[in-house]
Amino acid sequence: MNLRKSLMAVIALTALAGCDRKEAARPAAPAQQEARATAGTIVAVGDSLTAGYGLDEHDAYPAQLERLLREAGRPWRVVNAGISGETSSGALSRVNWVLTLKPDIVILVTGANDGLRGIDPKVTEKNLDEMVRTLKERNVTVVLGGMKMVANLGRDYTRAFAAVYPAVAKRHDLILIPFFLEGVAGRPDLNQADGIHPTAEGYRIVSDTVLPYVIKAIEQTPPSGG
């Protein structure tokens, strides 16, 4: 990565943590409001990358994922429970609220803001462990989205950060998306002007990436009809 790209990456990651706190005030509404039959409920938990910062709700990945699932004959509802600027500690603090949504499956994509702030990866790992443990105790199937940090934070840190997600997935026997932003991160044509938040087209690719892992989770989860 050359100096210009490195600087752009730092600026972009700063934007991730400094998202408009007005948007972060509450979780986004369910991806689809229509009253229609569903086989179960998927709750997408995360930060601005889940909330769809800068876009209309129907362009964020949870809404796009729901459309893909229905096109594939999987009528599952996907609830967008992303909050911009949230760290893994913030996500942990509201895990019991997430359970009030009665999820059958949770897609957990959190920790990017931890990395930006230089939080010890051990703290992120501990938070993920506690969230996963709480969800699994309630028989919720968890799909964990892996994240990576830019090299500017140092090789040791970026390696330790990236290792958190496969370690948690292995320990709890989770379905792991190796890198949530695969094919999108670092591509100006697929990200907004801040360089880190995907465009609608970027989220289409994210949704395509996430889809097979979610279908695998659905196949492991008895339908609730909710």
The C-alpha atoms of residue 216 and residue 225 are separated, in whole angstroms, by 18
- Give how many domains the chain has, as a whole number: 1
Is residue 57 domain-resident?
yes
CA distance 218 to 223: 8
- For residue 61, give the CATH number of its domain: 3.40.50.1110
pLDDT digits (tens, 9 = 90+) for 99-127: 999 999 999 999 999 999 999 999 999 99
| Domain contains 225 | no
**Domain membership flag for residue 92:** yes
Smallest CA-to-CA distance from 43 within 95, 84, 93 is with: 95
| Under 8 Å between Cβ of 4 and 41 | no
The question of whether 194 is a catalytic residue gets the answer: yes
Q: Please state the pTM of the whole predicted model.
A: 0.85
226 part of a folded domain: no
Domain range for 156: 3-220
What tens digit of pLDDT does each residue of 28-75 get?
444 444 445 789 999 999 999 999 999 999 999 999 999 999 999 999
Distance between CA atoms of 24 and 10, rounded to whole angstroms?
A: 21
Residue 84 in domain: yes
CA distance 56 to 199: 10
Name the active-site residue from 47, 104, 114, 194: 194
The answer as to whether 137 is a domain residue is: yes
Query: What pairs with residue 176 in β-bridges?
Result: 144
Contacts of 197 (CB under 8 A, 6+ apart): 15, 16, 48, 49, 53, 54, 55, 191
Residue 65 lies in a domain: yes
58 flagged as catalytic = no
The catalytic position among 84, 104, 114, 197 is: 197
Q: Determine the Cα–Cα distance for residues 76 and 216; give it in Å rounded to an integer.
A: 13
Q: Is 114 a known active-site residue?
A: no
The active-site residue out of 47, 48, 84, 104 is: 48
166 or 12, higher pLDDT = 166
120 located within any domain: yes
Lowest mean pLDDT among 25-29, 51-55, 134-138, 213-217: 25-29
